[in-house]
Structure 1
Amino acid sequence: MSHKVMHICLSHGWGGLEMYPSRIIPELKRQGWEPHGLALSGSRVAASLEEAGITPLQVPTQGRALLAMARILAYLKANDIRVLHCHKSSDLRLGALLSTLRPELRLFFTDHMGVTRPKKDPYHRWAYGRVTRLFAISEATRQRNLAAFPLPAARIRRLYLGIDPAVYAPRLSSEAREALRRELGLPERAVAIGLPGRLTPGKGQAAWVEALALLADGWPDLAWHGVLIGGLTAGEGSNEDYVAALRERVAALGLEGRVTFAGFRRDLPRLFEALDIVCVPSRNEAFGLTVIEAMAAGKAVIGADSGAIPELIDVDNGRLASPEAPDAWAGAMAELAADEGLRRRLGESARRRIRKDFTLEAHVTALIEEYAGNEGELER
């Protein structure tokens, strides 16, 4: 078959879902596939695809994409593209229509968000009925998918996300690392406790701030500094009212000198080198990409004991705490902040786990095996 795939992501947002197509494009190319894209005009998705080396087909809106069906079908035919991969549930309408009009197309869908309500009405039965394979990015999301989608279990596959561990290997000299720490406002001997992610309520920054206050009160002899990494504006994907509330709470708790709002950063792999502990207190992560990125960097990670994060972290490579229990987070942070050797051992174990189970190479290998599968192997 033709080793070509079109990734469809008609979104103006910018999160893990939107970043996914451009993240896997280099590895798709390396493994012999030719990626194409369909995105909204002027979106960050379109820009990211261009940065990854492809020129996406663009449409002004989701609605206009339906009006451009003839143009899209002509593009698919001209480029001999026989595989479509959708990343937003709202894009499945387009994908299902395209595969209906051109039955030889194989249609794939990744549930990046973790479905929360049943989708078994006639429309969804038709749309998902066109899907060759639905990918769940964790076992937690697969269980939700089995309950929510009108698909047999054989058509739903857990496929963990992956990363290139080499990107997260330490590169900074000791002088560059210290300079980065100073840029982040870190005192010379302070244990750096970071929380990367969009600043929105579901990511748990509010509980983390409360935990830092408990840490300051309960372990006054520990030297530490908190770093919030994430955009501070709506344009950077964050909730501006929430950011303002976080700043006010940090001030009210007397933590202004111990917490840095670092803003949106493109150099997260290098920022990990400046951190000693990475926290991910999200309440219900569908996977936890930040978790495996921090693990690949050899960091001691504390993650929420909910959603998919417990599939990634165990007692040998990190710590888990309830996202609703700031006291548990304070205790976990105190344990790790007080023991550099423990942090090192956990980080080394975490790095080994990523190399074994969560590489981008393995993820894309499994993906293209599905793309190239026998078209008749699944009942529609």
Structure 2
Amino acid sequence: MEDISDVEIIAPNFKKRLSGVTSTIIQLIPVQRTLGQKVAVLGPGLPDSLPHIGYSALLSLWRRPKNRALRVWHARRNIEMLPALFLRDILRMKLKIVFTSASQRKHSGWTKFLVRQMDAVIATSNRTAAYLEVPSTTIMHGIDTQRFFPAADKAAAKAALGLPADKKIAGCFGRVRHQKGTDLFVDSMISLLPQRPDWIAIIAGRATSAHVSFENELKDKVKAAGLGERILFVGEHTDIPDWYRALDLFIAPQRWEGFGLTPLEAMATQVPVVATDVGAFSELLVTGDNETGILIPAKDLAAMTGAAATLMDDQKRLLLAGERGLTRATDDFSIAGEAARIGAVYEKLLSSAT
């Protein structure tokens, strides 16, 4: 446990189940620490390797940290904003509250009320910022280029995973469910692969219990199409960067998304992207000149199939889009850059008068 007197930023995580928010915290905290941000986590569902404080440490929040007039509480959910308001406004503890919003829909009255009480608000995309009714700072998520980087040898990367080294591979990664558009990816591959014997497809990700029947229906559809050995469900993996490195094309088929890191993960591994226009995808990809991939309307199977065919059938365009995606991911979307921009928001609050 961290000494609370040394902690200047508290990052609560009040949800046990792994989610995108939890994953963001897990990836960001170590980078923030290397930048000198004195941040610690609070709550369940986080690895022991992260700096933690216990709930009993909250009793010390009436006292200032070393060398600062106050602390920052960085909430990412309603359930993390509410206790911070209690600590700050009822118990009069020395806190400023930051809230990060990734939502791209109209907020409930309750959420609007909570957000209005914040000392600073961060939006994860310009599209998200448009739904906020308070001033905000847009800080997009970054990618850890120490984990996500191109394969030195694409054929070897495929062989290491037991995939055919002589085939090109299209991939779709993430939870297997309707919202994620896994069925659209499968349907597009069923349409495309019979005419393209040099390509196969993989779906990497887990179907939770509520979505197992959905996954089984997709597997049955693939089998009925005679493509059981060319459209592969490979399950969930902790070494997901290795699977990206085996790809030649990534497809993000989501019907809805809050932010969505998968296109960025693909770009960082030099893989071109076809993505639906949801979440922050339109702000991650470059289309037209200097394209890193192709953006298509959500829920449009014909557009997805056509965009994938365009890249599959044009090797020069495929490779060039991958190279440009790598440059964009590393230059504009590093996780160190994200952490530094968040740190600037913290510093403004930490330096303010109580």
TM-score for the superposition, normalised by structure 1: 0.82
Name the residue aligned to 2:341: 366
The yes-or-no answer on 1:177 pairing with 2:181 is no
Secondary structure in 2 aligned to 1:202? coil
In 1, are the aligned partners of 2:154 and 2:245 still within 8 Å (CA)? no
Q: Does 10-19 or 239-248 show the bigger shift?
A: 239-248
Question: 264, 286, 307: which is aligned to 2:258?
Answer: 286
The one-letter code matched in structure 1 to 2:82 is R
Give how far 1:226 is off.
Answer: 0.9
Change (3 A) 1:249 1:90: farther
Unaligned runs of 5+ in 1: 59-70, 147-151
Name the residue aligned to 1:10: 14
State the Cα deviation string for residues 318-357 of structure 1 (Å, max 9, x = none).
1112232222212222222223222211011111111222
Secondary structure in 2 aligned to 1:363? helix
Name the residue aligned to 2:171: 194
Question: 143, 146, 151: which is aligned to 1:166?
Answer: 146
Partners in 2 of 1:8 and 1:197 — Cα distance?
25
Partners in 2 of 1:239 and 1:143 — Cα distance?
32
Question: 86, 111, 123: which is aligned to 1:97?
Answer: 86
In 1, are the aligned partners of 2:42 and 2:52 still within 8 Å (CA)? no
Percent of pairs with identical residues: 24
In 2, are the aligned partners of 1:110 and 1:135 still within 8 Å (CA)? yes
Question: 103, 118, 128: which is aligned to 2:107?
Answer: 118
- Give me the CA root mean square deviation: 2.6
Partners in 2 of 1:134 and 1:259 — Cα distance?
43
Secondary structure in 2 aligned to 1:302? strand
Name the residue aligned to 2:59: 74
The one-letter code matched in structure 2 to 1:370 is V
The one-letter code matched in structure 2 to 1:29 is R
Question: 192, 215, 228: which is aligned to 1:215?
Answer: 192
Name the residue aligned to 1:107: 97
The one-letter code matched in structure 2 to 1:18 is T
Partners in 1 of 2:23 and 2:72 — Cα distance?
20
Unaligned runs of 5+ in 2: none
Name the residue aligned to 1:64: none
State the Cα deviation string for residues 71-120 of structure 1 (Å, max 9, x = none).
352154578371111122222111211221235301111123x1533333
Partners in 2 of 1:244 and 1:115 — Cα distance?
30
The yes-or-no answer on 1:353 pairing with 2:325 is no
The one-letter code matched in structure 2 to 1:190 is K
Name the residue aligned to 2:286: 314
The one-letter code matched in structure 2 to 1:229 is A
Give how far 1:173 is off.
Answer: 5.1
Name the residue aligned to 2:277: 305
Change (3 A) 1:206 1:75: farther
Name the residue aligned to 1:138: 125
The one-letter code matched in structure 2 to 1:363 is E
Question: 1, 19, 26: which is aligned to 2:23?
Answer: 19
Partners in 2 of 1:79 and 1:179 — Cα distance?
55
Name the residue aligned to 1:54: 51
Give how far 1:128 is off.
Answer: 2.6
Q: Does 325-334 or 166-175 show the bigger shift?
A: 166-175
Give how far 1:376 is off.
Answer: 8.8
Name the residue aligned to 1:65: none
In 2, are the aligned partners of 1:283 and 1:307 still within 8 Å (CA)? no
Change (3 A) 1:76 1:374: closer
Partners in 1 of 2:149 and 2:112 — Cα distance?
43
Secondary structure in 2 aligned to 1:255? coil
State the Cα deviation string for residues 30-83 of structure 1 (Å, max 9, x = none).
11122211113xxxx32x3x13x323436xxxxxxxxxxxx3521545783711
Secondary structure in 1 aligned to 2:15? coil
In 2, are the aligned partners of 1:86 and 1:109 still within 8 Å (CA)? yes
Change (3 A) 1:24 1:346: same
Change (3 A) 1:87 1:194: same
In 1, are the aligned partners of 2:88 and 2:96 still within 8 Å (CA)? yes
Partners in 1 of 2:117 and 2:20 — Cα distance?
25
Partners in 2 of 1:255 and 1:355 — Cα distance?
36
In 1, are the aligned partners of 2:202 and 2:234 still within 8 Å (CA)? yes
Give how far 1:241 is off.
Answer: 2.9
Counterparts of 1:224-303 in structure 2, within 5 Å, are: 224-234=199-209, 239-303=211-275
Partners in 1 of 2:150 and 2:325 — Cα distance?
14
In 2, are the aligned partners of 1:3 and 1:32 still within 8 Å (CA)? no
In 1, are the aligned partners of 2:170 and 2:247 still within 8 Å (CA)? yes
Secondary structure in 2 aligned to 1:163? coil
The one-letter code matched in structure 1 to 2:346 is Y
Partners in 1 of 2:155 and 2:273 — Cα distance?
25
In 2, are the aligned partners of 1:106 and 1:371 still within 8 Å (CA)? no
In 2, are the aligned partners of 1:282 and 1:304 still within 8 Å (CA)? yes
Partners in 2 of 1:321 and 1:189 — Cα distance?
29
The one-letter code matched in structure 1 to 2:125 is S
